[in-house]
């Protein structure tokens, strides 16, 4: 007998076509295949672009070789800083320093970099090797005339000493090759020489800043490790609640996955378009950069309501997770962002140790194109870099990676797997090369766990901004 309170089964109300369990699964599979293909293409593009050396410019002063200069200043400055400490001792032997220069030489991308590296060999007691390398460069006939003249000056400074160079020749090396040129122009001189004094001052600043940053990182790591242990204990006991709510609608999951795929497809074209427009109209560059954030609204066009969209992306201060929002919620989430940053420091330090081991085993190095921009940036450019690193990247990347992509996965799989996968994708699309993937993937995983904890994207956005801001601040101070 039929219960009159139960509505009769109406086949017309069942999900039809794509809106069935099978349909959603097929749609998600197709999108994931597309996403993986796009990420693979980006990775291949990054790999091909990374080792490729730009043509040597007529005026080398436009190519400061940031990584080489930073490494050289650090290596030259460490003994000066360590010897200046009470009970200080030599941090590295000359042979160890030469080994580090050998590593830089193996990863040099151009003849310009190979020439500049010779000043480091000469500084650390391997002048014969430096002269031999310069002779090889000159004999190759590949150097353009201006750079060949510079190479001859480098060779004379190393063979006959900097006294063999005129003031104009020293100025030429300093202007065209920056700190590494000044190093070559003052080899063996004492600090009474003005060029040598500048070289050693810069080396002390770089080494002192970097050593101080390392000490701070380990202090923060110790604090973060304690917070991490406390968090794990509270989570295991049920005292620490996870405020993130997985998507309960296949439509929402698919729509967010679509927006993440669109973001990855359009990210690099948008960046190149912004670079072109920026040459003509600088505000246009900022507009194009920020306009890609509009792709996060794609689910609205797919029938997802505004509240569901905000909850999925984490665009709230806790109000959509059952917490108090408004100014109080914003302050709370920002505070949790600081805690999330600290708890992630020991994990990132562990990944740095892994990368250091891989570097030692493979004799390869990683770098990020933005660091080269720091080497030639003026005040306005530095402001632009900070806006990009501390505002655009945290807001946009957290919206799409820990927002749309994480939310689309989290509705079907657990937090750990979602964090690992989104972290790997986040790392692979960055232009630092495969060697930097462990560090950035670990950072991405930590940010995903912060999102899982808070529900809101505000906390991971602040954690992300703190990582980027701290890194670039240290580099700018060290190389100022």
pLDDT in tens, 145-158: 999 999 999 999 99
Run of H or E including 43? helix 21-49
Contact yes or no for 351/217 (Cβ under 8 A): no
Give the residue from 45, 52, 117, 43 showing the smallest Cα distance to 436. 43
Domain boundaries, the chain: 28-50+241-478, 65-207
The DSSP secondary-structure symbol of 53 reads P
- Are the C-beta atoms of 459 and 340 separated by less than 8 Å? yes
Cβ-in-10-Å burial (0-12, 13-18, 19+) of 399 comes to: buried
DSSP conformational letter for 455: S
Alpha carbons 5 and 25: distance in angstroms, whole number: 34
Q: What is the pLDDT of residue 224?
A: 97
Best-predicted range by mean pLDDT (26-40, 41-55, 351-365) = 26-40
Q: What is the mean pLDDT of residues 339-357?
A: 95
Q: Per-residue pLDDT tens for 158-214?
A: 999 999 999 999 999 999 999 999 999 999 898 889 999 999 999 999 999 999 999
Write down the pLDDT at residue 74: 94
Residue 245 contacts by C-beta under 8 Å, 6 or more apart in sequence?
311, 321, 455
pLDDT over 80 (residue 41): yes
Closest CA to 464 of 357, 314, 329, 355: 314
| Coil/strand/helix, residue 480 | coil
Is there a contact between 348 and 220 (Cβ–Cβ < 8 Å)?
Answer: no
pLDDT at 16: 46
Q: Which among 290, 225, 223, 216 is positioned nearest to 471, based on CA atoms?
A: 216
**pLDDT, tens digit, for every residue of 52-87?**
444 444 577 667 788 889 999 999 999 888 876 665
Query: 336: helix, coil or strand?
Result: helix
Residue 382 and residue 476 in contact, taking contact as beta carbons nearer than 8 Å: yes
Question: What pLDDT was estimated at residue 49?
Answer: 61
Higher per-residue confidence, 37 vs 383 = 37
Average pLDDT of the residues of the chain:
88
* Higher per-residue confidence, 214 vs 93: 214
* Residue 151 near residue 134 (C-beta atoms within 8 A): yes
* Residue 193, CB-side half-sphere exposure with 13 Å CA sphere: 16
Conformational region of residue 144, where left means phi above 0, alpha means psi within -120 to 50, and beta covers everything else: beta
What integer pLDDT is reported at residue 441 of this predicted model? Answer: 97
What's the pLDDT score for residue 55? 43
pLDDT, tens digit, 9 for 90 and up, residues 404-414: 999 999 988 99
Answer for the pair 208, 77: CB distance below 8 angstroms, yes or no: yes
pLDDT for the residue numbered 88: 56
- pLDDT bucket at 364, cuts 50 / 70 / 90: confident
More confident position, 422 or 387: 422
Query: For residue 377, what pLDDT band results from cuts at 50, 70 and 90?
Result: low
Q: What is the pLDDT of residues 218-243, one digit of tens each?
A: 999 999 999 999 999 999 999 999 99
DSSP-derived letter for residue 323 is S
Cα distances (angstroms) measured from residue 74 to each of 213, 298, 327, 405, 448:
13, 47, 44, 39, 34
pLDDT in tens, 443-456: 999 999 999 999 99
Instruction: Find, among 12, 70, 84, the residue nearest to 203 by Cα.
Output: 70
pLDDT the model gives residue 269 = 87
Q: Taking residues 354-363, report their average pLDDT.
A: 88
Q: How many residues does the chain have?
A: 480
- Give the separation between CA 138 and CA 111, rounded to whole angstroms: 10
> How does residue 431 score in pLDDT terms, banded at 50, 70 and 90?
confident
- pLDDT given for residue 173 in this prediction: 95
Q: How much is the pLDDT for 337?
A: 97
- Predicted local confidence at residue 376, as pLDDT: 64
Tokens 């295991």 appear where?
Answer: 236
Structure confidence at residue 84 (pLDDT): 66
Region at 20 (left for phi over 0; alpha for psi -120 to 50; beta for the rest): beta
Which pLDDT score, from 0 to 100, does residue 1 have?
41
């Amino acid at each position: 007998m039929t219960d009159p309170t139960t509505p009769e089964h109406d086949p017309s109300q069942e999900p039809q076509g794509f809106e069935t369990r099978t349909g959603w699964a097929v749609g998600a599979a197709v999108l994931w295949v597309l996403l993986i293909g796009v990420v693979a293409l980006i990775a291949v593009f990054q790999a091909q672009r990374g080792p490729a050396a730009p043509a040597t410019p007529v005026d080398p002063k436009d190519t400061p070789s940031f990584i080489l200069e930073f490494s050289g200043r650090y290596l030259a400055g460490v003994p000066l800083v360590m010897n200046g400490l009470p009970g200080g001792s030599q941090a590295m032997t000359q042979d160890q320093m030469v080994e580090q220069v050998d590593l830089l030489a193996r990863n040099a991308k151009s003849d310009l970099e190979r020439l500049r590296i010779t000043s480091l060999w000469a500084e650390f007691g391997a002048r014969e090797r430096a002269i031999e390398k310069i002779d090889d460069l000159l004999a190759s006939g590949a150097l353009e005339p201006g750079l060949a003249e510079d190479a001859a000056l480098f060779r004379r400074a190393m063979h006959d000493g900097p006294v063999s160079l005129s003031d104009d020749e020293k100025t030429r090396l300093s202007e065209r090759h920056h700190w590494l040129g000044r190093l070559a122009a003052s080899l063996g001189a004492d600090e009474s020489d003005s060029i040598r004094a500048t070289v050693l001052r810069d080396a002390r600043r770089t080494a002192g800043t970097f050593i101080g940053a390392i000490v701070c990182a380990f202090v923060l790591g110790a604090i973060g490790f304690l917070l991490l242990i406390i968090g794990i204990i509270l989570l295991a006991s049920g005292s620490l609640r996870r405020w993130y709510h997985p998507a309960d609608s296949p439509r929402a999951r698919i729509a967010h996955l679509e927006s993440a795929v669109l973001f990855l497809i359009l990210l690099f074209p948008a960046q190149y378009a912004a670079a072109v427009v920026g040459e003509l109209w600088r505000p246009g560059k900022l507009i194009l950069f920020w306009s890609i954030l509009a792709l996060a609204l794609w689910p609205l066009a797919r029938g997802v309501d505004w509240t569901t969209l905000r909850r999925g992306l984490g665009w709230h201060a806790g109000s959509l997770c059952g917490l108090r929002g408004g100014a109080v919620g914003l302050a709370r989430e920002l505070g949790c962002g600081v805690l999330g940053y600290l708890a992630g420091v020991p994990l990132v330090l562990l990944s740095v140790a892994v990368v250091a081991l891989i570097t030692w085993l493979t004799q390869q190095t990683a770098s990020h194109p933005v660091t080269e921009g720091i080497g030639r940036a003026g005040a306005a450019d530095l402001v632009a870099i900070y806006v990009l690193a501390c505002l655009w990247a945290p807001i946009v990347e957290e919206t799409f990676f820990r927002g749309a992509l994480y939310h689309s996965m989290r509705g079907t799989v657990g937090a750990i797997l979602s964090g690992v996968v989104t972290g790997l994708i986040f790392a692979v699309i960055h232009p630092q090369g495969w060697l930097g993937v462990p560090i950035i993937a670990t950072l991405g995983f930590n940010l995903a766990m912060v999102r899982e904890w808070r529900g809101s994207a505000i906390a991971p956005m602040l954690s992300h901004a703190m990582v980027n801001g701290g890194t670039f601040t240290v580099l700018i101070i060290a190389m100022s």
